[in-house]
A and B are shown apart, each in its own frame.
Chain A
């Protein structure tokens, strides 16, 4: 496959120009800045596009920038044309007879083209064996000074890059990169950074630590729950015992008083009443003052009578009182409603007709007067007057109608209200009846009084009953009606019962005097135990508060744990992926080396013959692709550094050629050399050129230079010559005659 022509239109400094090439050696001559690089860059520009649209935009015309390449080969001819501004590409392949074999037309942006994807990429692959720009450039292009062999490690690196298939990156580096990241993650390496643990290990350790903390926190939570249960129980028992204590105290005080009274002032066989246990709520003082009990009782009874309620309140009385109260309230409100409605009704009386009548009469007389004065318009006056008279009457009737409607409505409402009132009154009557049956006066005043006194009555009754109970020595818990359940969690003291013991005690209820100290002792013990329990309650509450504070962490720990675990899982997965990748790549390299190494060595050897003009024909590689040549005059191999520069250059060229051929899947593609020998001097230059000529037997070579001595050689060796330089048209007549395409277009 050779490049036959490059067609340029408004491409860089070329307005419209076609360059034609031939097999073998082609020399493009031009001084610096003549456009050599532009010309050779047109090739990848057409194949892969340019990202920077301004790069080749013509100085003359900015709207168009296009180029085309024509390749010819065994199969026929391919023309690839591209508009560099909008990236429209046209590819036409024709066979030997000129029949069209393939055609592609479409837009191929540079990113796509460079990657070799899509239908266009398929064509390139088919034609050249290559479809990626990076590979294309690194195999077929030799830039300035690039023919000289780089140092051995770089050479090996270049070889590895090309063999990787990517052109730029050498697989060794990729492998190293994978392994590095793996080590950062999971410390897989044995030596070196064995002190630091990988990130994955760190996270796993954190998760474990967190789980420990969580377990501790969980224990604390359980402790807290038990603690709270204990506290609740304690509260319960304290509440109960405190009330018991109070009762016991009062009873004993009663007993003591009794004995004192009956036996006069007695010595201190009666211990003073034990101190009351300290109460957190400074409400009622349970200190019982020993007064005149009977007197007190009578007083209470009198008060009770004053409430107007019977001593024993029947169950329904309360309900009846409440109901009656409610019903009366409803009645009052209904009466209010009715009054309101009546007032409203009054407001809607029929509007007076007198005014309207007067107005119409006035109009009528006015009309009559006018018609008398102006008899001609009588008819008109009658007509107009009639209408005028009708208007106020119309309004009047409307208003009257409206008023009537409203009145009807209100009357309806009033009727309803009245009905309800009657209902309420019937109910009240019924309630009154029940009052009477109970033997109470149903009068409204009485009822209200009874209602108001109900709570007080209950209180008094309770006190009286307490006295009775205390005297009879019966601890009746049912008496304590006041201890209704309340919203607060702490049990309350029985409401202020400065219960005074009655003066006299029925003998059966009295504790024998001998047993008194024992009873007091028991009471004191109860008091002690209560105090202890309260102290303990305080302790427990404090403990609860501290536990509570530390518990907030538990939930935060759980959340942190979740986050860490998910991080650990994702790191774990990453490690798996990296490990797999490294294994895959490692294995691939191994397989590649073992399969292809020998073959390469052989391919390169063939090219080596050409480039060293027969001096060397064999080459070898180590695993890292460092090159070895047979040692001169002895058996065995020597590394490349041991040989001359000229030899090294030759070897490098051979390597590049072999690789290019390999990457192009066996095709012999043209090579483009952009002044690669610029750093070579005298003899080396000549040697290398000789080498290139050899190569040119198999590959088309397009060689750009500004070196005049090469011009001479071009003539001698019958190279195909193109000149970019205006002033050189008549230089070498021999070549002019022989090469009919010296009439190359010059710079415009």
Chain B
């Protein structure tokens, strides 16, 4: 395994960059990190129509999110890959296509986690905030979401570690991220495929494990501290 690393570390790390678009582990990390950062707000946004007071809006949002969740990710990747350029007249690099798909797909799952987290809170929390004079949005922001997000942490962490692994599907549309790079390498090194796959597994573990630790830490901190710092009076 050491020899593989010594020989091919640069290729595994960045693919054919700078002669080709960024690839390898670096692309996986870029996709994963930007996916994590974007999927959260998109998931929160997608949760808004799910909680709308208007029934048709709720029903439509439910339908769309159910559709997203019930179709394999690979199919979404291909849809976005072919459909987006056809619809918008511009074509995106494969990595961007992959990122858009990952964010929407995981956003759909996160929206359901958010709604479940909100619904799990006692009704009295909303009533207490409203009785003080807070509106719906302020009640969400100051009272409901801070509590719901903390309760959602374990589910969020597992969803986000799925996202990291899902970046592997980028291979299907030519985003040569880590999995594709390692597969190519294994093909070129007969007899060393197992070592190459083992390295790949280690790489994914190294990406997911810190997320798990961070989640645990946030959870503990949430339970321990008496004070969540409110931002200075706005």
Do A and B come from the same complex? no
The residues of A with any CB-CB pair to B shorter than 8 Å are none
The residues of B with any CB-CB pair to A shorter than 8 Å are none
